Amino acid sequence: MKRVRCPKCDHYITFDETQYEDGQSLVFECEMCHKQFGIRIGLSKLKSVRKEEVIDEQENADACGSIVVVENVFHYKQVLPLTMGDNVIGRYVKGSKINVPIETVDPSIDTTHCIIQVKSNKQGKLMYILRDAPSNTGTFYMNEILKDNDRIRLEDGAIVTIGATTLILRAANEENGND
């Protein structure tokens, strides 16, 4: 199975590519916004369905770590890399300015939901600080909602809930020059 994204609303359309030959043109109508668009079958333009992908939760361990978005009814499992500074996390919407977008249709995740700040302490060890963006539905750390001024230090394996979505922090490996 392959999937394409609607150029108007970013909704994914899944289809069976084995029914078509390379170079063949197809026309789709998005069920969400009814935009009609065409594609040409070819390996470089199509993306595998995420459910079929093998996702390595430690793939960003050499950098600044990552967050693992746990699969649920709204989206597939995702591993999103973190960078130094503010990592603004939220629902992916075309044109948004967030730097850690979650591809989801979860309506309870704001487009700017929470922030994980990655910085080094005096010893050079990476620290992860969580705060609400602020969001409409709140950011939860270990089942407790964050208040507007709360700053929570996260450790590897910390569980954060935004909307109906669970995130797990995967800290960077300390032996990779971060100490």
pLDDT digits (tens, 9 = 90+) for 142-153: 989 999 899 999
Over residues 67-89, mean pLDDT: 91
How do beta strands 85-91 and 100-102 pair? parallel
Q: Given a cut of 60, is residue 179 above it in pLDDT?
A: no
pLDDT digits (tens, 9 = 90+) for 17-31: 888 887 788 888 999
Q: What is the pTM of this model?
A: 0.66
pLDDT digits (tens, 9 = 90+) for 162-172: 999 999 999 99
Could you confirm whether domain 55-176 is CATH 1.10.10.10?
Answer: no
Q: Show the tokens assigned to 131.
A: 């705060």
What does the domain layout of the chain look like in residue ranges? Answer: 2-51, 55-176
